Amino acid sequence: MDHLSTTFAALADPTRRAILARLSSGECTVTELAEPFEMSMPAISKHLKVLERAGLIARGREAQWRPCRIDGAPLKEVADWVSHYRRFWEESFDRLDVYLRELQKKKKSKEKTNARNRNKR
Amino acid sequence: MDHLSTTFAALADPTRRAILARLSSGECTVTELAEPFEMSMPAISKHLKVLERAGLIARGREAQWRPCRIDGAPLKEVADWVSHYRRFWEESFDRLDVYLRELQKKKKSKEKTNARNRNKR
């Protein structure tokens, strides 16, 4: 599997993204990581291995205390990849903006017509 | 599966990302999309279905000519998600920068010492 595919596959899981979110506030051990999740240690370890293989986390060398930390490099690749598509979400917001302005305009012109009709009476 | 996981899973394939890259230069039909890939139509259709389910592409309503186009909304979610981790790749570049500056400094001070030693001889 190519590198970017491995990264996307690793991120396609809410528990693994929650692990990254936890690590974003500082490095911690596997035991500390497992605490907020109702999961067995082997299940957590499996998720950590997927993240490690994708290069998303790195682990300390000390045998007993092997703190995990985020490695930003693959996340930068994701950010670079997605940035090429920016105009596709900006365009859709532009279209929504145009639509809302048109609605507003119609509403105003309707109010004017109503006001004019009221004055005529 | 949650929405963001579905998006990441859909993006974890080089062919599907190539399809998005092709669509980024304009909407096109399934036949046009299949051309550059050495793949059968059913294989391409399967990839398109994954992209469509993730909301990454939308297809026209005309029965015969159903052009595909990118829908940017899920890509915006990816961009928003990854932006929370920006400091992790900026930090690693900062660390690299500090390291390179230190190397440079060491190199310069070594050159100075060498020059001084040469002058003493």
- In eight-state DSSP terms, residue A70 is E
Instruction: Find chain B residues with C-beta within 8 A of A72's C-beta.
Output: 85, 87-92
Please choose, from the candidates B1, B37, B31, the residue with its C-alpha nearest in 3D space to the C-alpha of residue B17. B37
Q: Which residues of B touch A70 (CB under 8 A)?
A: 85, 88
Q: Classify residue B61 by its DSSP letter.
A: S
pLDDT digits (tens, 9 = 90+) for A21-40: 999 999 888 888 888 888 88
- Per-residue pLDDT, B121: 65
Closest by CA to A72, choosing from B87, B20, B54, is B87
φ/ψ of B69, rounded to 5, equals -145, 155
Per-residue pLDDT 10s for chain B (121 aa) are 899 999 999 999 999 999 999 999 998 888 888 888 888 888 999 999 999 999 999 988 776 778 899 999 999 999 999 999 999 988 766 777 777 788 888 888 888 888 888 877 6
**B44 to chain A nearest CA, in Å?**
18
The alpha carbon of residue B20 is apart from the nearest alpha carbon of chain A, in Å, by 9
Task: Kindly state the tokens that stand for B108.
Answer: 């310069």
Q: A76 to chain B: which residues are within 8 Å by CB? A: 89
> pTM score > 0.80 for this model?
no
Structure tokens that stand for A6 in this block: 């491995």
The rounded radius of gyration (Å) of the Cα atoms in chain B is 25
Residues A69 and A57: beta-carbon distance below 8 Å: yes
Q: How far apart are CA B115 and CA A121, in angstroms?
A: 101
A44-48, A57-61, B22-26, B79-83: least confident range: A57-61
> What ipTM does the predicted assembly reach?
0.77
B74-89 pLDDT, tens per residue? 999 999 999 999 999 8
- Angle between helix axes B14-23 and B41-53 (nearest 10 degrees) is 80
Which positions in chain B touch A21 (Cβ < 8 Å)?
Answer: 84
Q: How many angstroms separate the Cα of B114 from the Cα of each of A24, A59, A99, B104?
A: 45, 40, 71, 15
Contact A54, A7 (CB under 8 A): yes
The Cα A75–Cα B45 span in angstroms is 29
Tell me the residues of chain A between 27 and 56 that have a Cβ less than 8 Å away from chain B. Answer: none
Taking the Cβ of residue B20 and every Cβ of chain A, the question of whether any pair is shorter than 8 Å is answered with yes
